Amino acid sequence: MLAVGQSLSKLGSPNEHRKRPDLTRKMIWILMIHQLFLAASPTFLSEIFQHIGMYRANIEGSANNKYAPFYSRMEWEVARWAKMRGTGSTAFDDLLAIKGVGDALGLSYRNSADLNKIIDNEIPARRPAFLREEVVIGGQAFDLYKRDILECIRALYGNAEHCKYMCFTPERHYADADKTIRLYHDLHTGRWWWGTQKAVEKDSPGATIIPVIISSDKTQITLFRNKSAYPVYLTIGNLPKEIRRKPSQQGQVLLAYLPTSKLEHITNKSARRRVTANLFHACMSNLLAPLKEAGLEGIIMQSGDGIKRRCHPILAAYVGDYPEQMLVTTGYYGDCPCCEATKDELGNYPCEHNARDMDAAIAVTKQIGTVAWAQACLDANIKPVQHPFWENLPYCDIFRSITPDLLHQLFQGVMKHLIEWLTAICGADEIDARVRRLPPNHGIRIFHKGISTLSRVSGTEHKQMCTFLIGVITDIPSLSAYQSRTLLAATRALLDFLYLSCYPIHTDESLQSLDDALAAFHSNKHIFIELGSREHFNLPKLHFLCHYSHAIKLYGTTDNYNTETTERLHIDFAKDAYRASNHKDEYSQMTRWLERREKVMYHATYIDWCFYSQTNTTSTPAIPVTGSRYDFPGAQRSLTDMKCLLHQKMTTYPTIKSVSFSKLEDVSNRGYGAVQFTSALSRFIVQFRQPDFTPLQVEEYARVVVFPFKAVPVWHHVKFVNEDLFGKETLDVASAYPRRFSVDGQVIQGSRFDTVLVKVRENSHEDENFTNYTRIARIRTIFSIPTHKRLNTLFPPNMIPPKHLAYVEWFTKFARQPEPYSELYRVKLQKKSDGLPAVSVVPLDRIICSVHLYPKWGGAVPSGWTSETVLDDCTSFLVSIFKDSRTYINLA
């Protein structure tokens, strides 16, 4: 067990706006140290090649043919396409049935059946096959399709591609040199692994723990036939969370399909619920039974680096939504799955209830079959389930294993409720009117029909609403000043909790900030009762927020166990698999389809390794992220950069080669509205040539600047990336363009001139507050000074102007403190004495990122405002910090 300590400043409370950005920047340094630590895990080329050799030995003809059992690259690529990207087997058969296609491609297989035989018989399996077993409950047999859990764990643990990033011991990471402030991110930094390691070491010194993470969720796999699947997924905590949550990295295994019978032959609803619970636990007991002996005695497993260890697979966490949590813990619906709070006590804060007692629950299971069992279950406040699957699992506390769930508890739970409450208080018409008039920005969805009429709202849509929620409840005319302040404070507190809970790394003090945000909400929640949108707060999902801080300390940050991963896995492992079947006896077909896909995916990785080994014989090989692409250790993205500094990326050629000054200065909807473009560019040229000039001198000399051109090349977008962490993915975009019209004069695209954060001077030190050296501005034009033979009339030969420039309209400087209650900074469009906007031409590289602004409504929304024109119509704005996680971390 290791303890890692590095210097890190303290992370303040949500209200300490001047501290958090600097502290999170230092947290990134700790992240990178952890990343390097993971990369230093013992991985040797010879061991990797040994895995290749063992795999190759099971493939006939592989000595001289890297694509074996396929005869050529073409045959292999077609097979991979058919199984990974292609259409159904019938369509593939029809394609190959076309005369000459098979011969032209040089294929030895002539239909899907031939291809399936090759995959089934000639490609080795890296993961265990599915078995069908019968589980008998109440005299009725149910089909369970499952895999051997120990073999699944062995496959994940021994994966050579992941061995560099595996963790085998718990670690304590610290944020300060004195080792008083803990850091939490991956599961191995949490207290559960440390405590469990100590417990196992008492009985079995030298043990390596494999934290088993199980998730399950019933999902609908058809749109109209109401047919569902009940997959169970398995992963291990030794893998970094970045690998576990990406399906392409194959860090999750489909462990089983549970029975989905509706038990319609049981007419009594209570009896049906009891049988359903017993069936679930009987199936899960069947799946997890091997963990009992393996967890106690240990089993020898070989990791991908060739090292053998005595491993103890232990159930660490169970991931599921609220109904699944209550089914797993055998609690009563409406109660808390983790503590003793009942459904009538969930609204109490702070939560003073003890955690549910695992020993007491186990004692109840010992009385099954006796007269006292039913009463014992009532006393323990659990349902009378026959032999819960966790009763014999070693070192397992099932109540502690229930983890936070961002998707269902926050986005689809608390935030869904909050939006409903605010809509009821503020009025659906007023909320919708404001939502429709928000200014556009990158990552901000404009709901043009409002949000009150939406049905079947997804978690993604609730997440999008959270980006502007606080901005649409300011200045509600029907509320008094007290009501508005309290409502803003309660909403801001829940949004703070939401964004803090999404942090990919936490300290003890940031967790205190999380608890402070929750306390702030409970201090102001009475406003919802006073305004009639709530009668009580006995909501299980809201109550569970009390357990977030403790769960993060146990298991690491919430992205270790978010059900968003499960929802994504449903697509590959349930819905796509069902579509590939003929919908008759579907589970046997679905399991075979999945086994073949897994074989093809690993065979693609094997072929990549073979070609890599030809040219690299002395260094550590790259890590295949997919079958065709590599992610080199020197450029890992395995830990999220919380601050994520952005870099600009411009297209080589402009959007429009030449735009005249007159069109740039045109204030109609066909122009750019840069009304002072000529004078602003003149001032920039003078300031660039003579940086020591006073403003008066700049104005004087700018009047005599003569341009050797009357048009400039214009770009409509500037993109922002961070290639070190996110590759070529575009993280932010700032746009500036007028309306576009069709030939017949119809508007085909509205105008858009985004607001951005501009660096007006260099920050004096790394920890300086961003409000001291940045300002908000609105881009009107992104352009470049054209290369011209007479350009030397503007600049001397030894002076090269910036390649890209931006014409911007300034907003007022940031105030010393944000607005109370909303805690957002207020800015206005800055005007000169003549009533025109204060404008400048600035180097484009001074723009840090785009920024979203909330209009200060000042009462009911004027009907003439639109999303396209609100930045022109409104004069006062609030600066949003909720645009995305990066903005929240940087600006909060």
For residue 20, the model assigns a pLDDT of: 38
Token pair for 285: 């007991």
Q: Indicate whether 654 and 771 sit together in one domain.
A: yes
Helix, coil or strand: residue 231? strand
493, part of any domain: yes
For residue 728, the model assigns a pLDDT of: 86
158-167, 629-638, 735-744: lowest mean pLDDT where?
A: 629-638
Token pair for 130: 């599915």
| Rounded mean pLDDT, 131-153 | 93
Q: Indicate whether 697 and 730 sit together in one domain.
A: yes
339, part of any domain: yes
Q: Indicate whether 695 and 831 sit together in one domain.
A: yes
Burial of 797 (0-12, 13-18, 19+ CB in 10 A): exposed
Token pair for 607: 């072929």
For residue 371, the model assigns a pLDDT of: 87
* Domain extent at residue 342: 331-384
Token pair for 298: 């240990």
Phi–psi pair at 555, nearest 5 degrees: -120, 5
Q: Indicate whether 658 and 689 sit together in one domain.
A: yes
For residue 730, the model assigns a pLDDT of: 94
Confidence of residue 80 (pLDDT cuts 50, 70, 90): very high
For residue 78, the model assigns a pLDDT of: 96
Evaluate if residue 228 carries a pLDDT over 60: yes
Evaluate if residue 687 carries a pLDDT over 90: yes
| Single-letter amino acid, residue 768 | E
For residue 5, the model assigns a pLDDT of: 45
Percentage of the chain lying above the pLDDT 90 cut: 74
CB 548 within 8 A of CB 200: no
Q: Over the stretch 798-815, which tens digit does the pLDDT of each residue have? A: 888 999 999 999 999 999
For residue 644, the model assigns a pLDDT of: 75
H or E segment to which residue 322 belongs: helix 322-329
CB 236 within 8 A of CB 156: yes
Evaluate if residue 869 carries a pLDDT over 50: yes
Token pair for 763: 């920050």
Rounded distance between C-alpha atoms, residue 56 and residue 784, angstroms: 57
CA distance to 173, 380, 410, 544, per residue, from 357 (Å): 29, 9, 26, 17
Q: Indicate whether 436 and 542 sit together in one domain.
A: yes
| Rounded mean pLDDT, 318-330 | 98
For residue 226, the model assigns a pLDDT of: 80
Helix, coil or strand: residue 245? coil
326, part of any domain: no
Q: Which comes out higher in pLDDT, residue 857 or 24?
A: 857
Q: Indicate whether 656 and 733 sit together in one domain.
A: yes
267, part of any domain: no
Nearest to 567 by CA among 327, 328, 407, 402: 407
For residue 827, the model assigns a pLDDT of: 97
3-state SS, 179-242, equals: CCCEEECCHHHCHHHHHHHHHHHHHCCCCEEEEEEEEECCEECCCCCCCEECEEEEEECCCCHH
Q: Indicate whether 413 and 359 sit together in one domain.
A: no
624, part of any domain: no
Triad 511, 327, 542: Cα angle to 5°: 35
380, part of any domain: yes
Triad 326, 330, 332: Cα angle to 5°: 65
Distance of CA 600 to the CA centre of its chain: 28
Helix, coil or strand: residue 419? helix
H or E segment to which residue 430 belongs: helix 428-436
Q: Indicate whether 364 and 429 sit together in one domain.
A: no
Q: Indicate whether 524 and 440 sit together in one domain.
A: yes
Evaluate if residue 95 carries a pLDDT over 80: yes
Evaluate if residue 398 carries a pLDDT over 80: yes
Q: Over the stretch 524-564, which tens digit does the pLDDT of each residue have? A: 999 999 999 999 999 999 999 999 999 999 999 999 999 99
How many distinct structural domains can be found in the chain?
A: 3
Find the Cα–Cα–Cα–Cα dihedral 667, 671, 674, 675, rounded to 10°: -40
Q: Indicate whether 729 and 682 sit together in one domain.
A: yes
DSSP 85: I
Evaluate if residue 230 carries a pLDDT over 80: yes
For residue 621, the model assigns a pLDDT of: 41
Identify the residue whose tokens are 């830990």.
Answer: 639
Rounded distance between C-alpha atoms, residue 126 and residue 145, angstroms: 18
Query: Of 533, 559, 585, which marks where a domain is finished?
Result: 559
| Rounded mean pLDDT, 462-473 | 98
Identify the residue whose tokens are 């903005």.
Answer: 887
790, part of any domain: yes
The chain-wide mean pLDDT, for the chain, equals 89
Q: Indicate whether 375 and 419 sit together in one domain.
A: no
Q: Indicate whether 335 and 414 sit together in one domain.
A: no
Q: Over the stretch 731-790, which tens digit does the pLDDT of each residue have? A: 999 999 999 999 998 999 999 999 999 999 887 666 678 888 999 999 999 999 998 766
Query: Who's near 72: CB < 8 A, 6+ residues apart?
Result: 106
* C-beta atoms surrounding 205 within 10 Å: 8
361 pairs with which residues across the strands? none
482, part of any domain: yes
CB 557 within 8 A of CB 449: no
